[in-house]
């Protein structure tokens, strides 16, 4: 294959590495002709196609034409090379065992059948530098004669350049039902002249085709049932209508992050199976409203980026008919904790997954028996009850929001008794601490005492009488109780009444409304602790209080 044969868009292979020619010509300050090639292997080194500030092509490698390029083969030549011909059997070496001729019974008949591909229904011509360009009618007739019974064809990693080239070959196989074109780089043009009416399986993995191109290609397969699109750098599906006959689509090893980015596929009325393993899916839906997949029954989400149980709580809204699910390999199952904070295993996580999805029949290929569902749902119900017992009363609604199956599970198994557990910061009302109040004493008058520095904080029983309280304060400050006045600062504020009335008070509702409108000034509410037998607890109900000391 010389440099004269090269053209932009040509498919070539170099030491088993397939590529596409993106540039043919001279390079500034470099002698001779150069090729710019783009490798099919996305991990192979890429040149940006620029030399000395001049851009010749984008994202490829500069190569000299004088390389040991792999020889290209036609489909028919490859077929004859891989599958035994009658001459191979006729010219086979004569074998003697212990001096006696070994008779090869039936080998000639077998070779004859194989030469006609009788009994062979699957052809695998993977990475054999196959093309189908410039083929004459005689060659096509020979292919049709040999391949009358072929139903499955694997052409992975070959040198086809256009969809028309593939269709021209496939049209010679009238019974073809399965076609694999993985790793090819084919150009898809609209208005294809041929169609594949019998094709039910099509694999286009690692072809880097866009949704619109895939949809255009699928127009030639009106009865397609299964479509494989793995490793195509797809982030969603927003363009292109696929055949309504599709029942299974695989989009593994792509760049999908949100399940709802595939909502355009929800229009397929017969879609039963969606395989999405090894993406980066973490959410069911973004900001947009959820559009359900009404017929989807099987979903593969292995090795994605799911980290929250909310994903599975929201999943039934998008996939209401889901019965088969695979979720292994997600980060959620790596660091699970129970309601009490105890570590859980991934198996515990799968149990909680079953409990959240009532229609599930299999999880990670394991059948969900009636006993397993009973155990899973009662365990989950117990975990919700434990979380409720640990949550403050004001957060119970948030717990219910996190577990949308609570009501359904209670109806099925009965509502569990929830004994609220106090947190470490809460005080047991039966404890000694609950019967104490922390009092902070201070004064605004420097002459109140010189023997005790204020403010002063102390924990005393609420059962003290004001007489006793006053005596304790006087003793601590070394001041006569007759000279002390205690004022409790409640921390609350009251409005200041601005009108003074003499004589009997007359009330009118309109007067109260007028007063409320004009009320602006507020004053701190203070209560004097009058010496007597009244208990401190009748004044201060909380656990803390501030008392101001004044001189009488």
Q: Report which of residues 350 and 46 the model is more confident about.
A: 350
Q: Where are the domains of the chain?
A: 3-63, 73-88+108-332+358-365, 335-357+366-426, 433-495+521-551
Maximum average pLDDT range among 109-118, 270-279, 412-421: 270-279
The fold adopted by the segment(s) 73-88+108-332+358-365 is: 3.80.10
Q: Tell which CATH architecture fits domain 3-63.
A: Roll (2.30)
For the 433-495+521-551 domain, the top CATH level (class) is alpha beta
Contact status, residue 331 vs residue 288, Cβ threshold 8 Å: no
What was the pLDDT predicted at 107? Answer: 47
What was the pLDDT predicted at 190? Answer: 73
Q: Which residues contact 24 (CB under 8 A, 6 or more apart)?
A: 3, 6, 7, 8, 33, 34, 35, 36
Nearest one of 61, 62, 60, 58 to 27, comparing CA atoms: 62
**What span, in angstroms and rounded, lies between the C-alpha atoms of 492 and 478?**
31
- Average the pLDDT over 386-407 and give the result: 91
pLDDT band at 206 (very low <50, low <70, confident <90, very high): very high
Q: Say what the pTM is.
A: 0.72
pLDDT band at 161 (very low <50, low <70, confident <90, very high): very high
SS3 170: helix
Cα dihedral sign, 444-449-455-458: negative
The Cα-based distances of 415 to 68, 161, 394, 403, 418 in angstroms read 76, 66, 20, 14, 9
For residue 104, pLDDT over 60 is answered with no
For residue 543, pLDDT over 90 is answered with no
3 state SS for 468-481: HHHHHHHHHHCCCH
For residue 490, pLDDT over 60 is answered with yes
| Alpha helices in 319-465, H assignment, sequence order | 346-356, 370-390, 396-402, 406-413
**What span, in angstroms and rounded, lies between the C-alpha atoms of 175 and 195?**
13
For residue 324, pLDDT over 50 is answered with yes
Maximum average pLDDT range among 347-356, 451-460, 543-552: 347-356
pLDDT band at 92 (very low <50, low <70, confident <90, very high): very low
Q: How far apart are the first and last CA of the chain?
A: 115
């Amino acid at each position: 294959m010389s440099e004269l044969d090269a053209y932009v868009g040509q498919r070539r292979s170099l030491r088993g590495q397939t590529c596409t020619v993106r540039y043919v010509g001279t390079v500034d300050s470099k002698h001779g002709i150069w090729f710019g090639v783009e490798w099919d292997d996305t991990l192979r080194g890429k040149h940006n196609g620029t030399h000395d500030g001049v851009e010749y092509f984008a994202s490829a490698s500069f190569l000299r034409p004088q390389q040991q390029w792999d020889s290209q083969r036609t489909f028919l030549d490859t077929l004859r090379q891989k599958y035994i011909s009658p001459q191979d059997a006729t010219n086979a070496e004569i074998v003697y065992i212990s001096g006696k001729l070994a008779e090869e019974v039936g080998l000639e008949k077998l070779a004859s059948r194989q030469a006609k591909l009788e009994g062979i229904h699957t052809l695998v011509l993977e990475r054999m530098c196959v093309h189908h360009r410039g083929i004459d009618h005689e060659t096509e007739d020979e292919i049709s004669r040999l391949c009358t019974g072929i139903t499955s064809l694997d052409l992975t990693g070959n040198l086809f350049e256009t969809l028309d080239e593939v269709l021209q070959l496939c049209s010679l196989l009238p019974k073809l039902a399965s076609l694999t074109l993985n790793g090819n780089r084919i150009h898809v043009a609209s208005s294809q002249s041929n169609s594949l009416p019998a094709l039910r399986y099509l694999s286009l993995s690692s072809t880097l085709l866009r949704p619109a191109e895939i949809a255009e290609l699928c127009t030639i397969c009106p009865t397609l049932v299964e479509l494989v699109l793995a490793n195509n750098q797809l982030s969603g599906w927003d363009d292109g209508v696929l055949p309504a006959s599709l029942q299974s689509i695989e989009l593994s090893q792509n760049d999908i992050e949100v399940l709802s980015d595939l909502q355009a596929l929800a229009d397929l009325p017969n879609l039963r199976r969606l395989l999405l393993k090894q993406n980066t899916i973490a959410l069911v839906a973004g900001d947009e409203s959820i559009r359900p997949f009404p017929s989807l029954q099987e979903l593969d989400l292995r090795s994605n980026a799911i980290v929250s149980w909310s994903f599975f709580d929201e999943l039934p809204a998008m996939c209401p008919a889901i019965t088969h699910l695979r979720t292994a390999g997600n980060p959620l199952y790596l660091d699970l904790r129970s309601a009490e904070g105890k570590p859980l295993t991934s198996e515990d996580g799968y149990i909680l997954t079953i409990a959240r999805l009532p229609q599930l029949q299999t999880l990670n290929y394991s059948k969900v028996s009636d006993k397993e569902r009973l155990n899973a749902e009662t365990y989950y119900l117990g975990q919700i009850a434990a979380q409720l017992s640990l949550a403050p009363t004001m957060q119970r609604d948030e717990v219910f929001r996190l577990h949308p199956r609570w009501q359904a599970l209670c109806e099925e198994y009965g509502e569990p008794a929830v004994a609220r557990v106090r947190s470490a910061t809460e005080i047991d009302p039966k404890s000694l601490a609950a019967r104490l109040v922390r009092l902070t004493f201070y004064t605004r008058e420097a002459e109140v005492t010189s023997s005790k520095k204020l403010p002063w904080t102390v924990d005393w029983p609420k059962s003290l009488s004001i007489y006793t309280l006053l005596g304790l304060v006087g003793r601590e400050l070394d001041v006569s109780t007759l000279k002390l006045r205690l004022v409790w600062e409640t921390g609350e504020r009251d409005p200041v009444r601005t009108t003074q009335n003499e004589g009997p008070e007359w009330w009118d509702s309109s007067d109260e409304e007028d007063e409320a409108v004009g009320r602006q000034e507020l004053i701190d509410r203070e209560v004097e602790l009058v010496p007597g037998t009244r208990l401190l607890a009748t004044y201060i109900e909380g656990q803390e209080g501030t008392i101001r000391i004044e001189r009488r």
